[in-house]
Amino acid sequence: MFAATADPVAIGLVESLAHPGGNVTGLSAESTDYAGKEVELLGELVPGLHRLAILTNADSPGMMAETGKVQAAARAAGLDVVTLVVRRAEEITAAFDGLKNKADAIYCVPGPLTGENRVRIVTMALAAKLPAIYGPRNYVDAGGLISYGPDIADLFRRAADFVDKILRGTRPADIPVEQPTKLLLFVNLTTAKALGLVIPQSILLRADEVIE
């Protein structure tokens, strides 16, 4: 059983959400049009947004699956897309160095590599004066501008129901994969001020927490 994984269909864990097949099921960390909503948030947040940079890890199937969705959502919104592909922590600095004057904002795809290097990524985005959106809240706690993503604690609580069903004899193949029912929005006003951004009231009213 899995909990809080990337798109399980895209990375080949299950055949479909409704009919997992095989011997595995669980909860996905991705909800319907998750990437599209994040792109919309950036559009509200950054006046004149035209060029979006996407930071991702080419060696992670889950991150690349999300990258494709973000690219599609950004292009559907009329944005030009620059994809920054890194495979090791040492490549992050070079990726940012090559980004100068090529983007108006950054979408950081969540995953082990970006998560482990979130302080470096947040610091470099701020130094480059680029607004960035992240998934987990810990990026915002580290000084990131804004995060929007599933309530991971809630996903793991719900995972207990899956364990109970399996222990009672239900086959994993017969238990549909569930998606997040709760998405959390966090905003760091200190970072917004450092970037010279005014957070729209429409975002502040929807935020689960505003960090000052």
What's the pLDDT tens digit per position in 152-163?
A: 888 888 889 989
Domains of the chain (ranges; CATH) run 1-30+151-181 (3.40.50.2300), 32-150+191-211 (3.40.50.2300)
Q: Distance between CA 90 and CA 127 in Å, rounded?
A: 18
Q: Distance between CA 32 and CA 167 in Å, rounded?
A: 29
Matching residue, tokens 């996903």: 155
Beta carbons of 14 and 21 less than 8 angstroms apart? yes
Task: Tell me the pTM.
Answer: 0.89
The beta strands (E) that lie in the chain are given as 2-5, 26-28, 51-57, 80-86, 105-108, 132-134, 146-150, 183-188, 209-211
Which of 5-19, 82-96, 109-123, 195-209 is predicted least confidently? 5-19
CA quadruple 105, 111, 113, 114: dihedral positive or negative?
positive
